[in-house]
Amino acid sequence: MYTIGEFSRITNITVKALRVYHDKGLLTPSFIDESTNYRYYANREIEFAHVISTLKAMQFSLVEIKDVLNNINDDADLMSVLADKQAKIIQDISSLNNVSSAIDFILTKEKEAKKIMTNTNEVTLKQLPNIEVITQTWQGQYSDTGKAIGKLYRTAGRHVTGTVFNLYFDSEYKEIATLESCLPVKSIVSNKLRGKDSSIVFKKLPGGHYYTLLHVGPYEDIGVSYAKIFQHIKACGHTPTTPSREVYIKGPGMLFKGNPAKYITEIQIPFSDLLP
């Protein structure tokens, strides 16, 4: 017979854990001294202790371990239990990967926003690349953008590759506007859309030359930045055309609304050839 301390050294299980296993009915000592309440263990308990430690290392809960000890006597019977546990672990890994991707996306966006804040707020000419996106064309008020964007993010999941933006097809302000919300994604998303919401489509959006300007501040003040970029385009002898883009580099977050004074929106305006 071994004292609980000796048995702890033999099995590499703490005394505290052995007491818990006893209380839970997983590992009962061979003998308990009624006068002292001391626990004593025999050699046959060593094998059970090894089984418990092994299953615990495989992420089995104490309830699951107790079920195994009560109902399974050899490795052959254990195979189906291990297969079920493996399937659950694979599912958990996939779920955790999705969570990790979501966290990484938020962290990356915040780093990009801080980097952009150090740049000067000047109009620049950019060559925008072709990109793969999922989009939804809709009509409504500009303030409804958040609903459309949220739907795109839920559809794309962890396959997002860039910053969401709107395409504006109207050359002037309208109370009910025509917009297309776009979210850069991996091409694999095109397979996920089959048989789902037909209003969301996957497509390759062509790039081109655009005049761009960073607007830092609330959306309500963005008109000042539009005036600046329109003046620049015309001074360069070009005509602003549509669809223009608003890229929402930093706006209301997934958890908090944030400070509108720190919102960052990149205005992107295509243009035609020289004015007549």
Rounded-to-integer distance, Cα 254 and Cα 107, Å:
12
Q: Which of 59-68, 128-137, 183-192 has the lowest mean pLDDT?
A: 183-192
User: Which of 68-72, 256-260, 265-269 comes out lowest in average pLDDT?
Assistant: 256-260
The tens digit of pLDDT for each residue in 145-197 reads 888 898 999 888 888 999 999 999 988 888 898 999 999 999 888 887 866 77
> Which pLDDT score is estimated for 228?
94
pLDDT tens sequence across 16-47: 999 999 999 999 999 998 899 899 999 999 99
Rounded percentage of the chain residues whose pLDDT exceeds 70: 92
Please determine, for residue 62, whether its predicted confidence score (pLDDT) is greater than 80: yes
Average pLDDT value for residue range 196-207: 89
User: In the predicted model, what is the mean pLDDT of residues 261-270?
Assistant: 92
Percentage of the chain exceeding pLDDT 90: 54
Q: Is the pTM of this model over 0.75?
A: no
Question: Domains of the chain (ranges plus CATH)?
Answer: 2-71 (1.10.1660.10), 119-274 (3.20.80.10)
> Which residue, 175, 155, 180, is CA-closest to 242?
180
Question: Highest-confidence range of 92-101, 146-155, 262-271, by mean pLDDT?
Answer: 262-271
